[in-house]
Structures are given as C-alpha cells and as structure tokens.
Amino acid sequence: MNKIAKRTVVVVALALLVYGGYRVAAHNQWLIVTLGERAFEIGASPEVIDPDSEFSLLVVGDTGYDSPQRAEVVAAMRRHTSETVPDAAVLLGDNFYERGVDSVDDPRFQTDFENLFDEHSFPFPFYVCLGNHDYGGDVSAQVRYTEISDRWMMPANHYAVRHRIGDDAIDLFVIDTYLIANRDRRANEELVWLDQQLSQSDARFKIVIGHHPAISGGKHGASPAIAESLPGLLRDHAVDLYLSGHDHDLQLNESGQGWCQIVSGSGSKLRSTSWTEQTAFAKAAPGFCWLLIRDGELWVTFYSCENRLFTYHLDKRPAKDVATMQGRTL
C-alpha cells in the first residue's frame, strides 16, 4: 500500500471514529449542544402587577425521570412561583418514565407528583396530558387519579378548561397526541373533538396543549401525523399557542400562520436541539416556561434553572385601545 492510500485509510478511520464517538455521546446525553443558534433579542421581562387581574401558567414537560436535572428545574419553578403566584400549571406528558403507572395506587403518583410538586409551593391545579411513555402503563389510572388528587387534573384523554380575567376568557384545550401520532383508530375522534371545541370558543386567547410538537428542531422533530393534522386546525380557529414537550429542550417556533409552537420538554432529561427557519428561540437547557396574560397581552417566557432566557410578547388589544394608552403615556 502506497503512502497516499495509507493516509486515506487513516483519515477515513479517524472520521468514522469521531462520528461514532459523537453518535454514542449524543445518544447517552454526554454531549448536549444547540446547533445553528442565531443572534436574538432576549425581550423585556414581564412583571406581575396584580395577580387578581392576570392569568399566569407554569409549563413544563417530560418530568417523569428522577434525575438531578429534575430537582434543579422544580427548585427553580418553586422560586419562581413564590414571586409570581401562578393560577395553574401544565404537565406536557411523559409524566412517568419509562412505562407509566400501574394503577391509581402506584406510589409514583406520590414521588413524581404530590411530593415533587408539594402543595405548599404549588397550591394550584396541574392540567396534565398523556405522553408516549405514559402509554407503557395504565393510562386510565392517570385519568382516574383526578378523582383522588386535589391538584392533578386529567378528567379524560382530552378536555377543555376555561379561565376568566375580567371580561376576557382564556380557553385551554388538552389533547392526546399519542393517538394522533400513532394513527390510532381513535385519532379522528380526537381531532373532531378539538375542531368542535375550537369552533365553539369565543375566548380572547386559545391555547392547545399536547405532548408531541407540530413544529420542532429537536431530536424527535415533528411527528408526520401531527404535522399533517394539527396546523390547519390551529390556523383556521385562530389559536394563539400550541404547547408541547417530547423533545427535551426549550423552543419557540413561529408557524407563519398566526400561531406559535412552544416546546418545553426539558423537565428531567436533556437532548441537543437545532434552530430552523421557523425558530425564534431554542436552547438545549434544563428549564420551564411561564405564560402571563393581562389586558389582552400575552407574554411567553423561558427560564433555565438560573436565568430568564427569552420572552415573546403578543398584543391582542384593539388598535384603538393601544392608541388611547399611548396617548395617555405621552
């Protein structure tokens, strides 16, 4: 073998070794990166002015793995809650790794919910949806646990909740995306229900909640069945946000159709993520999301365990009201 051939063999071997090492490291979460990150403005930090005239919501997903990361995220949420007084929280599925729970008496309801999110620190309802790992156990037990717990709220695989702040209504629609993503025979029932609920809603803010994202630059990406079926409904019914987990990172993606995709799936595990053309913000970091609604305005803020990372602001006030307020300011 001549020198050129030997050099080629060495280069190829090194390349395969580096690539193989990268794949192993990424699979085992030894290497966590945010790929393609662009410069972005962090946005202005929202402030709680009067909790009685505002609605705020904590959002975290994929919390079902007992890890040091989860302890840090929940501790950060606890500190945040002591200052902002949320009205509720959302758990975005994969509530119990790896195979869900066996029954309503499963001790993991205590260890992974009641004790983890202690009532003293989190004295409000948790709206819960199902993830793919929850389907490894008895998903009906998670539904039935609603009758036992004062804070765990999952009355069915899909359900709707309305909150009011003055004259404004905020509608939350929780769906079971496992059925849609896996093209289960019950998926059409899920989508028909969502279509009907959204059609009947006159809320100022509409928020849909599920486990699988419709837009994502994360490792899993968007499920083809979700990407085919959900965006049209979200667009046609003027939905503001779609909240999901599944990808273990933090993301805000703009659909270009009037709604935004929020991914908040780094509650107990972390994976690399990527910026795409639709990305306004993405970070491979442990953390959570916080929504604040007041007087026709909505703020979506992402937090790591230490810092505020990014804030998105949506203003749905009528133009005349904004002009009047600006006139008063001047």
pLDDT digits (tens, 9 = 90+) for 162-178: 999 988 999 999 999 99
Tokens representing 9 are 């063999």
275 SS3 class: coil
Per-state percent for the chain, helix, strand, coil, to nearest 5: 35, 25, 40
pTM here? 0.89
What total number of domains does the chain contain? 1
Q: What is the CATH number of the domain that holds 307?
A: 3.60.21.10
23 SS3 class: helix
Spatial separation of the C-alpha atoms in residues 74 and 35, rounded to whole Å: 26
Tokens representing 36 are 């393609």
Domain that holds residue 175: 51-322
pLDDT digits (tens, 9 = 90+) for 70-85: 999 999 999 999 999 9
**Which one-letter DSSP state was computed for residue 202?**
-
Domain membership flag for residue 160? yes
pLDDT band at residue 236 using 50, 70 and 90 as cut-offs: very high
Domain membership flag for residue 202? yes
pLDDT at 271 over 80: yes
Domain membership flag for residue 18? no
Tokens representing 142 are 């998670």
pLDDT at 108 over 90: yes
pLDDT digits (tens, 9 = 90+) for 16-69: 443 344 443 444 455 899 999 999 999 999 999 999 999 999 999 999 999 999
Tokens representing 6 are 């030997």
Give start and end residues of each alpha helix (H) in 210-318. Answer: 224-236
The size of the chain, in residues, is 330
Spatial separation of the C-alpha atoms in residues 312 and 160, rounded to whole Å: 24
51-to-55, 56, 85, 179, 205 alpha-carbon distances in Å = 7, 8, 7, 37, 18
148-to-48, 116, 134, 268, 283 alpha-carbon distances in Å = 32, 17, 19, 25, 37
Q: Nearest 10 degrees: CA dihedral of 186, 187, 191, 192? A: -30
Is the C-alpha dihedral spanning 276, 282, 285, 291 positive or negative?
negative
Domain membership flag for residue 20? no
pLDDT at 7 over 80: no
CB-based contact 167:202 (threshold 8 Å): no
What is the share, in percent, of the chain residues with pLDDT greater than 90?
Answer: 86
